[in-house]
Amino acid sequence: MRDTVTDMRFPPPIALLVGLLLALPDPAAGDAETGPSPPSNLTVGEAQRGFATHAFSVTALERHHEERIRALDWHSAALHSVLELNPDAPGIARRLDADRAAHGPLFGIPILLKDNIDTAGALHTTAGSLALMDSAPAQDAFIVRRLRAAGAVILGKTNLSEWANYRSKHASSGWSGRGGQTRNPYALDRNPCGSSSGSGAAIAADLALVAVGTETDGSIVCPASVNGLVGLKPTLGLVSRSGIIPIAASQDTAGPMTRTVADAAALLNVLAGYDPDDPATLPLKDNPPQDFRLALRSDALKGVRVGVMREFAGFQDDVDRHFEQALNTLRSLGAVIVDPVSIPTKGKFDTDEQTVLQYEFKDGINRYLAARRGAGPKDLAALIAFNETHRAQEMSWFGQDILLDAQRAGPLSDSAYIDAHERAKRLAGPEGIDAALSANHLDVLVAPTLGPAWLTDLIDGDHVVGGDITSPPAVAGYPHITVPMEPVHGLPIGLSFVGTAWSDAALLGYAYAFEQATHFRRPPRFLPHLSE
């Protein structure tokens, strides 16, 4: 396991780049044991065609990404996006190579998991906190079991904003006590956003083919946007929450973080499904989700009525200019643009959302911690006490004010919680997104996801520009996908598509049509061997 990062000094850019170049293996070189090396920035489809034609092996692909992690992510403390590698991954890859008949939909695909998704066995699950290093979940999360059954190679766990960014209002996204500060691979002094920071940075830097992130409000789409990725926050209940360290049961979900829309659809096909232990997935019991790849058509926007949410733009001139360009692309693809439209309840459920999160976090984290095996805190009060005792490691940059507020919350039977929960869901969903869609006979809403990545500031915390679009679909439990727009001065930005509940397939189709018409995604230019 990799050592915890404690030294947060940024090395000079030239010295860092030289170190990276010296550490990175030659991508053209093969290996007598694994065979030819695979190319960089593969898609899921390209990797599986490579396996089928014996252009490279699963073992070679696993080793390729493990070597990239050691060279680009760990050497000179460059990205801090991957916390640890799975020591079982090479053996899993060899077994898959030996049994090519045992194909699954993600056969041989190296995948990284955010470190709040339970993995039993060799890999830790800590939410980035040193408090959970000596305890473990009893079993894999439901979605991890599905990934293993689908033939995926679990490569390792990614860094995150500690406790999925639910610890302090003054936190720096991407920092955890266990992993240090994750950096944005497009500019190392800029932030990767959170809380799925490591998942975003790692996939942008081609440290695996795909990753799974989680979102309560913005934690998939924000890091996807600023790292030049496709990120999908699914409808609540499409993907099981069992075995995911909770913030809020009414908003939490896992989702894909990938370099292409097609990869997001392929990953979602495996993640989505009915879980008897998660009541939110009950609608899928008798109606399993379709193959999301069927929605991927280049003409998917033809005749689609698209509402432009100007109220979520206007925060940065370059972003506005590229947003106008994106709207022109949508028109050229046959979309009917309705401009402007608004969510009538914008800003009216923010306070209720915070109330709901406090109550649900305390309830959920107490139950989760009590079920873990081994040492470590067994409830929120003990977690708070651990942080105080280990203040030098855990609270050198910011405190735990959010945890303290949550500890003061009462049980879920409190009328304050019940009223806030009902009001927030109604205002964000039926009276918010649904009202905006129905008033204008719309199929989907669009807006810029947020501005470019900001400079990381461990002292004063995040300086996010824009990003308000994340809250309505997060609180409503509705789907939200971001896809790359044209970068701003080399820094990625995203275009958001937001729809009503269970419109995930349609959103994937719209994002795919836009992606195929633009191809704005570019790998980080200064990292060696990442050029296309």
Per-residue pLDDT band for 33 (boundaries 50, 70, 90) equals low
Please write the tens of the pLDDT for every residue from 347-371: 999 999 999 999 999 999 999 999 9
Q: Are 228 and 246 in contact (CB under 8 A)?
A: no
State the Cα–Cα distance between residues 109 and 61, nearest whole angstrom: 8
Q: What does the block give as tokens for 79?
A: 């990205």
Q: Does the pLDDT of residue 9 top 70, yes or no?
A: no
Helix (H) or strand (E) holding 200: helix 197-204
The strand pair at 180-181 and 210-215 is best described as unpaired
Long-range Cβ contact pairs of 272-276 (< 8 A, separation 24 or more):
272/234, 272/238, 272/239, 273/146, 273/239, 273/240, 275/142, 275/240, 275/242
Cα Rg, the chain, nearest whole Å:
22
Q: What distances in angstroms separate CA 186 from CA 78, 489, 524, one per listed residue?
A: 12, 11, 5
| Confidence (pLDDT) at 101 | 77
| Confidence (pLDDT) at 75 | 81
For residue 106, give every residue at least 6 positions away whose Cβ sits within 8 Å of its Cβ, in sequence order, or none: 44, 147, 150, 151, 152, 266, 267, 270
Question: For 102, phi and psi rounded to 5 degrees?
Answer: -85, 55
| Confidence (pLDDT) at 17 | 45
Q: Are 217 and 353 in contact (CB under 8 A)?
A: yes
pTM: 0.94
- In 207-260, which residue ranges form alpha helices assigned H by DSSP? 221-226
State the Cα–Cα distance between residues 357 and 76, nearest whole angstrom: 38
| Confidence (pLDDT) at 102 | 72
Four-residue CA torsion sign, 41, 44, 47, 53: negative
Residue 227 sits at the vertex; the CA angle it makes with 521 and 200, to the nearest 5 degrees, is: 120
Name the residue among 331, 332, 306, 196 with its Cα closest to residue 252. Answer: 196
| Confidence (pLDDT) at 76 | 54
Distance of CA 74 to the CA centre of its chain: 21
Please write the tens of the pLDDT for every residue from 241-267: 999 999 999 999 999 999 999 999 999
Please write the tens of the pLDDT for every residue from 381-415: 999 999 999 999 999 999 999 999 999 999 999 99
Sheet holding 230-233, edge to edge: 82-85, 153-158, 110-114, 210-215, 253-258, 230-233, 480-484, 494-498, 444-448, 305-308, 336-338
Q: Does the pLDDT of residue 27 top 50, yes or no?
A: no
99 exposed, middle or buried (CB, 10 Å; 0-12, 13-18, 19+)? exposed
State the Cα–Cα distance between residues 20 and 441, nearest whole angstrom: 53
Other CB atoms within 10 Å distance of the CB of residue 378? 15
For residue 63, give every residue at least 6 positions away whose Cβ sits within 8 Å of its Cβ, in sequence order, or none: 31, 34, 90, 93
Q: What does the block give as tokens for 416?
A: 């304050």
508 exposed, middle or buried (CB, 10 Å; 0-12, 13-18, 19+)? buried
Question: For 40, phi and psi rounded to 5 degrees?
Answer: -85, 165
For residue 18, give every residue at least 6 positions away whose Cβ sits within 8 Å of its Cβ, in sequence order, or none: none
Mapped onto helix, strand or coil, the DSSP state of residue 292 is: helix
State the Cα–Cα distance between residues 351 and 349, nearest whole angstrom: 6
| Confidence (pLDDT) at 11 | 39
Q: Are 162 and 113 in contact (CB under 8 A)?
A: no
Mean of all residue pLDDT scores within the chain: 93
Q: Are 179 and 124 in contact (CB under 8 A)?
A: no
Q: What does the block give as tokens for 81?
A: 């996006």
Q: What does the block give as tokens for 201?
A: 């940075």
Amino acid, res. 357: L
Ramachandran sector of residue 132 (left: φ over 0; alpha: ψ -120 to 50; beta: rest): alpha
Name the residue among 162, 110, 169, 119 with its Cα closest to residue 144. Answer: 119
Q: Are 263 and 256 in contact (CB under 8 A)?
A: yes
User: In the block, which residue shows the tokens 């097609």?
Assistant: 262
Q: Both ends of the chain: CA-CA distance in Å?
A: 32
Bond into 340 cis (ω within 30): yes
Share of the chain above pLDDT 70, in %: 92
Q: Does the pLDDT of residue 30 top 80, yes or no?
A: no
The DSSP result for 395-414, as a single string, is: SSS---HHHHHHHT---TTS
Per-residue pLDDT band for 527 (boundaries 50, 70, 90) equals low
Distance of CA 11 to the CA centre of its chain: 27
Catalytic residues: 114, 195, 219
Q: What distances in angstroms separate CA 237 from CA 148, 289, 476, one per listed residue?
A: 21, 11, 12
Q: Does the pLDDT of residue 8 top 60, yes or no?
A: no
Report DSSP state, residue 106: T
| Interval 121-140 mean pLDDT | 97
Mapped onto helix, strand or coil, the DSSP state of residue 285 is: coil
Please write the tens of the pLDDT for every residue from 292-331: 999 999 999 999 999 999 999 999 999 999 999 999 999 9
Report DSSP state, residue 531: -
User: In the block, which residue shows the tokens 């109550």?
Assistant: 359
